Structure 1
């Protein structure tokens, strides 16, 4: 009789767990018409962007299952694509944005696979513009694409404090195609350093604002794209940022230091300060100023303004304006994936529509 009761209990628990499983299809389709002047070949450009609008287009599958005892198993498969052509982004990978599986609980989340790392998480609250057509991606294309292949990740939140980190055994296995890709597959037998990457973050958030800091170290490897062509080469980023809230407004800013130690040493800084304000529940304005300094070489200053009209919970109409001031040796384009003449200032604009599902 006891065996029968135990078996029935397990069967009921299994059925309950199955009943609490779910798989969700989700995504964003975001595109429009962009314009910018002073292209690298002269003249201006008008057309549809391939990388991003207000945010990059994507679709994905997210699944989870309740394991009991406060534990959940999950997976995420997420693909980025270009709405102007239907092509896959991220080097043509089917799930170039994310492909991972893991377990979450009150103690945090453990994730295995291709995943966002801490250099992306640290900017979520302070960067009010995000991965938009006019954004800090003009200075560092890695920032809106901060993901790691072959990675183990942890993220835990405890009473407003967030602790996170990732370790990649081979950070970029897809080849040189796509933004920020470096063809550094890693996981080479006999080389415990080649193409490794680790990131870490500490953050604090409450009702009025918060602050965060992260540290990101990439190692080079044989066959990788320059400048990280050897496991002795490194690329390091330190990000410190914060934000405060004032009713319907938010002010966010920060500092990003990058040091590349390779055949040619490079050091750069990005300083950013921005604000967003909900004029009404369905209309908001975003502004951001950015300063980029490439030590002993060049500098650029960028201003971004954006208006959003929320037609519904899923549909947004927006307009974005950007202006880039380049020093004599700088060639930072105002638009993601755009081009500009060296030393030329540049104006960019985009109107678009975004639909979420």
Structure 2
């Protein structure tokens, strides 16, 4: 066992042993599916696999703790690791605590935290019917499940039914790798714009309906991937997501407007509409239609997905899902998180899996 993993495991065991005295909770989700996916290359071949990034939701292991300081003030912390259940590997660019690692203070005025945390784009994405699912808006914009920021100062507060939130990062991503989970933009340099990021959210929640508005802007930096190799380059997303309850049926809809300014300008609009309905106390049907429209381009894509979830208990469930991604032009977006598809091809997928929450 490598030393960093060894030390982390010791810390985890110590935390478990003192959980009651220090108000520490160990929690997590274990979720894994088996999938059949068509047209994964230009030859039109199919594969069978166990997806690494998600099932019905991404797998994780976390520690959450707090201490009462008196006067309504609490000291808090949270550590959360993403897990690839197919191999036991680490997610989020190989970070041990890649989903969250922060400490903060919480009181009647809200919560102030510092560290690595999910930002406001991630918070608003929870309204999506299939948020976190293997077939979801994450397949059309992989930034959505990776909307987390290193070196951040964050605030969240509540004013009645309204939630307010903001994050500001001094260096949004210190890990170098492939894809949006590790983009090599450490920042914290003399360049006051390099790798900075800020996100803000206003959200309203009531029993019959809710709405969230988010503005998210990230700057590039020297060596940053995803086309953002200069601090003068920016990638901005504006999100509006909402839900409406009609009896037991929950309807969701939203839009994500993106503008990436580098040596050229890229603009796109992601629209979605979904529904979730309980067919019985144990069985729930979820479905969603999403479309990505790239401005001044024929390289668009459309995703249709449905999922059946059967609850075995309050913590355990089995599920089945089906989906289709229609690529147009030179678009090559896979239906399934972390997979591939032939350029311009329509891809279909079927998956079955199990989820256990602890």
TM-score by length of 2: 0.92
Alignment match, 1:186? 187
Alignment match, 2:335? 334
Alignment match, 1:131? 132
Q: CA deviation at 1:332?
A: 1.2
- C-alpha distance in 2, partners of 1:58/1:237? 26
Alignment match, 1:121? 123
Contact 2:54–2:133, Cα closer than 8 Å, also in 1: yes
Q: CA deviation at 1:285?
A: 0.5
What secondary structure does 2:307 align onto?
strand
What secondary structure does 2:215 align onto?
strand
Contact 1:20–1:65, Cα closer than 8 Å, also in 2: no
Deviations 1:301-345 (Å, cap 9, x if unpaired)?
Answer: 110100000001111100111111111322111111111111111
> Runs of 5+ in structure 2 lacking a partner?
1-18
Contact 1:21–1:66, Cα closer than 8 Å, also in 2: no
* Runs of 4 or more consecutive aligned structure 1 residues displaced over 2 Å after TM superposition: 18-21, 176-181
- Give the 3 Å change call, closer, same or farther, for CA 299–177 of structure 1 in structure 2: closer
- C-alpha distance in 1, partners of 2:97/2:349? 30
- C-alpha distance in 1, partners of 2:181/2:95? 14
What secondary structure does 1:173 align onto?
strand
Q: CA RMSD in A?
A: 1.3
Q: How does 1:60-75 map to 2 (within 5 A)?
A: 60-75=62-77
Q: CA deviation at 1:264?
A: 2.3
The structure having more radius of gyration, on CA atoms, is 1
Q: How does 1:209-288 map to 2 (within 5 A)?
A: 209-288=209-288
- C-alpha distance in 2, partners of 1:225/1:142? 13
| Aligned positions, number | 338
Higher mean C-alpha displacement, 159-168 vs 279-288: 279-288
Q: CA deviation at 1:148?
A: 0.4
- Give the 3 Å change call, closer, same or farther, for CA 124–173 of structure 1 in structure 2: same
- C-alpha distance in 2, partners of 1:302/1:91? 26
- C-alpha distance in 1, partners of 2:309/2:86? 21
Alignment match, 1:51? 53
Q: CA deviation at 1:279?
A: 1.6
Contact 1:114–1:147, Cα closer than 8 Å, also in 2: yes
What secondary structure does 2:314 align onto?
coil
Q: CA deviation at 1:139?
A: 1.2
> Runs of 5+ in structure 1 lacking a partner?
1-17
Contact 1:112–1:151, Cα closer than 8 Å, also in 2: yes
Do structure 1's residue 110 and structure 2's residue 112 form an aligned pair? Answer: yes
- C-alpha distance in 2, partners of 1:48/1:19? 37
Contact 2:180–2:226, Cα closer than 8 Å, also in 1: no
- C-alpha distance in 2, partners of 1:131/1:285? 16
What secondary structure does 2:257 align onto?
strand
- Give the 3 Å change call, closer, same or farther, for CA 302–294 of structure 1 in structure 2: same
State which of 76, 79, 82 in structure 2 corresponds to 1:77: 79
Deviations 1:5-49 (Å, cap 9, x if unpaired)?
Answer: xxxxxxxxxxxxx98741111111100201110112531010100
Alignment match, 1:176? 177
Q: How does 1:29-44 map to 2 (within 5 A)?
A: 29-42=30-43, 43-44=45-46
